[in-house]
Chains A and B, each alone.
Chain A
Amino acid sequence: MTSTLSRRAFLTRSAVIGCSAAASPLLTPVSLAAAPWDMRLVVIILRGGMDGLDAVRPLGDPEFATWRPTLSTARDKQDPDLNGFFGLHPALASVHPLWQAGELSFVHAASTPYRVKRSHFDGQDLLEAGTISMAGVRDGWLNRTLQQVPGIEMRTAFALGRGDQKVLLGPAQVSDWVPGADMEISPQAIRLAERIMEDDPEFHAAFSEALMLSEEVDSPATGAPAYRSLRQDMSEISGKSAHVRISQYAADRLREETRVVSFSLNGWDTHNNQKRTLGPALNRLSTSILTLKDGLGPDIWQKTAIVAMTEFGRTVRQNGTGGTDHGTGGAMVLAGGAIRGGHVFGDWPGLEEADLYARRDLMPTTDVRAPAAWIIRAMTGLDRSTLERTVFPGLEMGADRGYLA
C-alpha cells in the first residue's frame, strides 16, 4: 500500500476539484491507500422498468386518478407524503425517515435517450452504456468514468451479483463478487415460464405440479431440502437473500478501499396485478438502501451517494390486468448522506393526454445521465466536457440542480 503516493495524488486532485474535497473532509490512512477519491458511489440498476408513477405518486396531479383508477391513487393517510404533491408507495415507507432527514431524493420524469421500441434489453443496454445510441459502444459509463481517472486499483470498483453489470464493463479494472447459491425467480419470470411450458403437456403438467407443491412447502412431506420448491425460492426474496447480502458486502467494501459499486435489482416488470407485484420489488430497494446505510456506518454514509435507475418508466394508463406496460419517463432514486435530500427533482410535465409522450407515457424532462454526471463530477472532479463527451457522449448536463448536499 503506497499511502504517500496516493496522498499526493489525492491532494493534487482535490486542489483541482474543490467541491468534492468539501464532501470528503477527513480521510483515514486506509482510504488513502487505495482510492483516488473519498466519496462513495453505489449505482443500482432496476431491471424491468420501474413504474415511477407508482413509486413516487403525483397525487396532486388532477389527471392521475383518471389514468390509474385502481392503482397508486388510494390516498391512504398512512401512506407517506413527500411534499404535498407527491406521495410515496407504502412499500417505500421504511425509507421515508431518510427523506425527512434530508438523505433521500427523487428525480421524476427522468429517462435515458431510449425511445420507440421499449425493449428491456435495448433499454438496459443504453442505460448502462450511457450513450445516445448503441452504435460502436463497447463499455459502460461507470467504466468510462474509471478510465478517466488515474489510480484505479483492483478493488476501487465492484460489480456485484450474477450476470452482466454492463455499466461497469470495459477496459478499466473492476472486481466482481457473486453471493452464494441463491435461487430467486421473479413472479414475472414464473408467468413466462408457465407460458413456454403450455405447448408441451408433459412439461406443463410437471411444472404446474411444481407450482402446486410449492404452495405446500411447509408440509414436511414435500419439504425435503433436496427439492426446494419454487415458492420457497421466491419467498427468500423477502428474507435475507441476495440483495441483502450484496448490500452488506457492498458496505463492507465501501468502508475500505472500494469507491464504486454497482448491482442490479430485478422484478420491476409489473404488467400484471401491480398492486401485488410492485411492493416486493420496492421492498428490496428500500432494504438495500437501509442495509447499505447500516453497514457503512454514519461517517461513510455521509460520503455516500446511491443512485437507482431503471431502463424506462411505464405507461401512464394502467392496463387491463391491473398492471402497466413499458413506457418512457420514469423515476430515479437518490439516497445517502452525500445527496441533498427532501427533493423531487425534475420538471413535472403534467398528465394531460397532450402532455404525454406518444400520448401514453410520462414525458421525460430529465436525462437520467445528467444527475449521474453531476454526482460523478462531484466525486471525481472530472470536468464538464469530459463528462459530456466521453463518459456520457452527447449529454447536455444543464444547470446543476443541486443534487448533492
Chain B
Amino acid sequence: MRFSPELAEKRFGCGLSPDVAAPADPDQMLAGLAGPDTMADSFPIEDFDTFRLRMIENAAVWKMMRKTRGTDEFAQHKKKRDLLNKQARFDKEEWYAQTLARWTRTQTGFRERLAAFWADHFTASGKQGLVRRATSPYVESAIRPHLAGKFEDLLIAAVTHPIMLMYLDQMQAMGPNSKAGLKSKRKRGLNENLACEVLELHTLGVDGGYTQEDVRQMAELLTGVTFSAKKGQYFSPDRAEPGKETVIGRAYGDEPPTMEPVYQALRDLAQHPDTARHIAWKLAVHFVADEPDAGMVAGMELRFLETGGDLPEVYAAMLDHPAAWDPVLHNVKPPFDFMASACRALAVDPGKLTDMRRGVRTSTLLAPMQLMGQTWQSPPGPDGWPEEDEAWITPQGVSARLRWAMIVPGNLRRDLPDPRDFVGQALGSDIPDAVRFAAMAAEHRMDGVGLVLASPAFQRR
C-alpha cells in the first residue's frame, strides 16, 4: 500500500480531473496547504465582516419598520427588507456555485476537502432571517484560514464566531449572578448548548473524560462571549458569571471577567489527549474508512500530542501511513462531493456553474442533491452530516445519484466526452471490467458518461 497520485486525488482531493494534475507526493499536498489560497481568489466568497454590513443594514431597516408601523412609510421599509433577504438568498446560491467551481479547478484538492471537513466538524448556521444565508461567509472567515494551522486557533475561531454563538444559543446566555443576569426581569441565565457541543463534538468527543459538571462550568465560563452586528464578536463583562469556573480540573476566570480565560480554556481543551484521539479518529474516518486502521489513528494522535495540535503534522502522519493508501476504496462520497467531483471529472467550465440561471441551478444541482439526501448547508444537527456510508447508500439516494449522473452532465457540457475516454478520466487506471463494459456498451454518450459516474468505483474514494 503505497502513495499514488491517482489515489491521492481521489481519496484526499476533489477527484481526478482531465485538466489538473494529481499531486506527485504527500509533500506536495501539504505544500499546497501552506501556499496561497488561489481558489479563494479565483472564485471569491464574501467574508463574514462584509456580510455583517448586510446585518447592520438589515437591523436599521427593521428599526424603521417598527417605527413606521401603521403609516404609509412602512411599506417602503418592508420592501427594502425583502430586497435584502432576497439578495442574500441569491448570494447563498452564488457561493454554492463558487464552492463547486473551486472543486472543479483546484490544484490543491486537499484544501477543499479539509474546508468541507472542518466546516462540518464545526457545523453552524444562522437560525432566522438574513443570517441564515451566512454559512459560507462563516466558513470563509472562521474555517478556511485556519485549516492548516494549530487546531486551537481553528477551535477558537469557530467556537467564538458569531454564527456559532447564534447557532448554539450563546447569544441569549448570561451568568445568573452577572450584572445583567441579576437585573434581568425574565431571569435569563445559562445556556449549556455551546459548552456541551464544544466538549462533545468539537474537542474531547462524547467518550472523552468530562462530566456534566464540566459542561455547566464551561457554560458559565462562556457567558459574556457575545456578538452584535455593529461590533462583531465581543466580550460583555456585564453578562459574564463572576468567579472561577473549573473545567476538566483547571480553574479559569479573571476579576473583572475578560475573554482571556475563555481562550485559555479552549486552548487547554485543544491540547487535551482526548481531543487528540477524537480529532485523529474523525479525520481518519472521514478521509480513509468508516473503520480506520488503528495504527494510523494512533500515529496521528501521537503526532497531534507531540506537536500541540499542529494540523499539517497530523495530516502528514495520516498521509505517511500505509493504511492511507489502501487501494480498496471504502468511503462513499456525500452528495455534494459526488456532484462536485463529477463536475471536475467532466471538466465543466466553472463559468457554466457560476453564471447558471437560478432555476436551472436549482433543478440541475440543488434539488437533485436534496434528493440524494443532502440539503446544501442544512445538516440535521450540530454533529453535521453522517460519516457512515450506509447513510448515503439508500435506495432513494442511489437512485437519485444514478438519475442525476445520467441526465445532468448533458446540461453542464454539451460536448460530453467519449465514455470510453471518460472512464479513464474519471476512474484513473483502476477500472472495473463492468464499468469499462458499460462505458462501451451504453447506447449514447450521456448514458455512458452517466454510468461511469454512477459506478461504485466513482462514488467511493
Instruction: Among B397, B444, B445, B454, point to the contact of A196 (Cβ < 8 A).
Output: B454
B458 → chain A, closest Cβ, in Å?
9
A183 with B415, Cβ < 8 A, contacts A163-B445, A163-B446, A196-B432 known: no
In this assembly, does A206 line the interface, its C-beta being within 8 Å of a C-beta of chain B? yes
Which of A120, A162, A195, A227 contacts B434, CB < 8 Å?
Answer: A195
- Known: A197-B456, A206-B398. Contact between A233 and B403, CB under 8 A? yes
At the interface with chain A, which of B145-153, B176-184, B237-245, B388-396? B388-396
Of B370, B418, B446, chain A has the most CB atoms within 10 Å of the CB of B446
Contact mask for chain A residues 29-62; partner B; CB cutoff 8 A; 1 contact, 0 none: 0000000000000000001110000000000000
Tell me the interface secondary structure of chain B in the complex.
Answer: helix
Decide if A367 is an interface residue (CB 8 Å cutoff): no
Residue B398 contacts which of A178, A207, A269 (CB distance < 8 angstroms)? Answer: A207
Q: Is the CB of A206 within 8 A of B447?
A: no
Report Cα–Cα, A133/B385, bound state, in Å.
51
Whole-angstrom distance from the CB of A394 to the nearest CB of chain B?
23
A121 interfacial contact with B, CB 8 Å? yes
- Confirm or deny: B411 has a beta carbon within 8 angstroms of a beta carbon on chain A: yes
Residue of B402, B406, B411 with highest tally of chain A CB at under 10 A = B402
A residues near B450, Cβ cutoff 8 Å: 189
Residues of B within 8 A of A226 (CB): 370-371
Q: Tell me which residues across on chain A come within 8 A of B432, comparing CB atoms.
A: 196, 199
Give bound CA distance, A166 to B456, whole Å: 30
Query: Are B443 and A119 in contact, CB atoms less than 8 angstroms apart?
Result: no
B172 close to A (CB within 8 Å):
no
With A119-B440, A227-B371 in contact, is A164–B406 under 8 Å at CB? Answer: no
Q: Decide: A163 and B414 in contact? CB cutoff 8 A.
A: yes
Greatest chain A CB density within 10 A among B441, B447, B448, B459 is at: B447
Question: Which listed segment binds B: A17-25, A260-268, A292-300, A340-348?
Answer: A260-268
Interchain CB contact (< 8 A) of A264 among B394, B398, B444, B456? B444
Question: Which B residues are in CB contact (< 8 Å) with A305?
Answer: none
Structural contact, B418 and A162, CB atoms closer than 8 A:
no
Contact A120/B443 with A189-B450, A210-B395 known, Cβ cut-off 8 Å: yes
Number of interface residues of A (CB under 8 A): 52
- Please state if B443 and A49 are interface contacts (CB–CB under 8 Å): yes
Instruction: Decide yes or no whether B364 CB sits under 8 A from chain A.
Output: yes
Tell whether A352 is near chain B: CB-to-CB under 8 Å: no
Residues in A neighbouring B445, C-beta threshold 8 A: 121, 124, 163-164
Smallest CB–CB gap between A105 and chain B, Å? Answer: 26
Separation in Å of the B159 CB from the closest CB of chain A?
35
B363 within 8 Å of A by Cβ?
yes
Known: A162-B410, A192-B441, A203-B456. A186 touches B434 (CB 8 A): no
* CB pair A162 B411 closer than 8 Å: yes
Q: Are B395 and A196 in contact (CB under 8 A)?
A: no
Residues of A within 8 A of B276 (CB): none
Across the interface, do A186 and B443 meet the contact criterion of CB distance under 8 Å? Answer: yes
B403 touches A183 (CB 8 A): yes
Residues B443 and A48 in contact, CB atoms below 8 Å apart: yes
CA distance A178 to B457 in the complex (A): 30
Indicate if the CB atoms of A164 and B410 lie closer than 8 Å.
yes
- The CA-CA distance from A169 to B445 in the complex, in Å, is 15
Q: Mark A216-230, 1 if CB is under 8 A from B, else 0.
A: 000000000011011
With both chains docked as a complex, state the minimum distance between the C-beta of B360 and any C-beta of chain A, in angstroms.
Answer: 9
User: How far is B451's CA from A185's CA once the two chains are assembled, in angstroms?
Assistant: 11
A348 to chain B, nearest CB (A): 27
Is B446 a contact partner of A210 (Cβ separation < 8 A)? Answer: no
Contact status B443-A210, CB under 8 Å: no
A189–B455 touching, CB < 8 Å: no
Cβ contact of A192, chosen from B389, B420, B446, B447, cutoff 8 A:
B447
Separation of A269 and B416 alpha carbons in the complex (Å) = 20
Chain A residues with CB below 8 A from B394, complex form: 206
When the two chains form their complex, are residues A230 and B451 in contact, meaning their CB atoms are under 8 A apart?
no
Interface members, chain A 89-126 (any B CB < 8 Å):
119-121, 124
Q: How far is the CA of A267 from the CA of B435 in the complex (A)?
A: 19
Per the bound structure, the CA–CA distance linking A273 and B367 in Å amounts to 35
Smallest beta-carbon distance B220→chain A, Å: 44
A189 to chain B: which residues have CB within 8 Å? Answer: 406, 442-443, 447, 450-451
A:209-264 near B, CB below 8 Å: 209-210, 213-214, 226-227, 229-230, 233, 264
Kindly state the separation between the CA atoms of A166 and B394 in the bound complex, as whole angstroms: 36
Asked whether any CB of chain A lies closer than 8 Å to the CB of B438, the reply is: yes
Q: Does A193 contact B407, Cβ atoms closer than 8 Å? A: no
Chain B, 418-429, contact with A by CB distance < 8 Å: what is the 0/1 string?
111000000000
Shortest distance between the CB of A139 and any CB in chain B (Å): 12
B419 touches A121 (CB 8 A): yes
- Expressed in whole angstroms, the minimum distance between the Cβ of A22 and any Cβ of chain B is 36
- A390 in the interface (beta carbon within 8 A): no
Q: A193-B454, A195-B438, A230-B399 are in contact. Are A182 and B407 (CB under 8 A)?
A: yes
Asked if A396 lies at the interface with its beta carbon under 8 angstroms from chain B, I say: no
Contact with B along A172-188 (1 / 0, CB 8 A): 00001010111111101
Asked whether any CB of chain B lies closer than 8 Å to the CB of A202, the reply is: yes
A48-B402 contact in complex given A181-B363, A193-B451, C-beta closer than 8 Å:
no
B414 close to A164 (CB less than 8 A):
yes
How far is B447's CA from A4's CA once the two chains are assembled, in angstroms?
47
Residues of chain A with a CB closer than 8 A to B437's CB: 192, 195
Q: Looking at B396, B432, B450, which has the most chain A CB atoms within 10 Å of its CB?
A: B396
Does A76 interact with chain B (Cβ within 8 Å)? Answer: no
- Please determine whether A206 and B397 come into contact, CB atoms closer than 8 angstroms: yes
Chain B positions 349 through 364: 1 when the CB is less than 8 Å from some CB of chain A, otherwise 0: 0000000000000011
Which residues of B sit under 8 angstroms from A230, Cβ to Cβ? 399, 402-403
Q: A213-B395, A229-B399 are in contact. Are A266 and B414 (CB under 8 A)?
A: no
A198 at the interface (CB under 8 A from B): yes
Query: Smallest CB–CB gap between A48 and chain B, Å?
Result: 3
- Do B403 and A185 have beta carbons less than 8 Å apart? yes
**14 interchain pairs, CB-CB under 8 A:** A47-B444, A164-B414, A164-B415, A164-B445, A186-B447, A188-B442, A189-B442, A189-B447, A192-B447, A193-B438, A196-B451, A207-B395, A213-B395, A266-B447
A-B pairs with the 9 shortest C-beta distances? A48-B443, A163-B410, A162-B410, A269-B443, A200-B456, A210-B395, A47-B444, A210-B399, A209-B395
Q: Beyond A120-B441, A121-B444, A159-B414: 16 further Cβ-contacts under 8 Å?
A: A47-B444, A119-B440, A120-B444, A163-B416, A163-B445, A176-B414, A185-B406, A186-B443, A192-B451, A193-B402, A196-B438, A202-B393, A207-B398, A210-B395, A227-B400, A233-B403
| B residues at A contact (CB < 8 Å) | 363-364, 367, 370-371, 389-390, 393-400, 402-403, 406-407, 410-411, 414-416, 418-420, 432, 434-435, 437-438, 440-448, 450-451, 454-457, 459-460
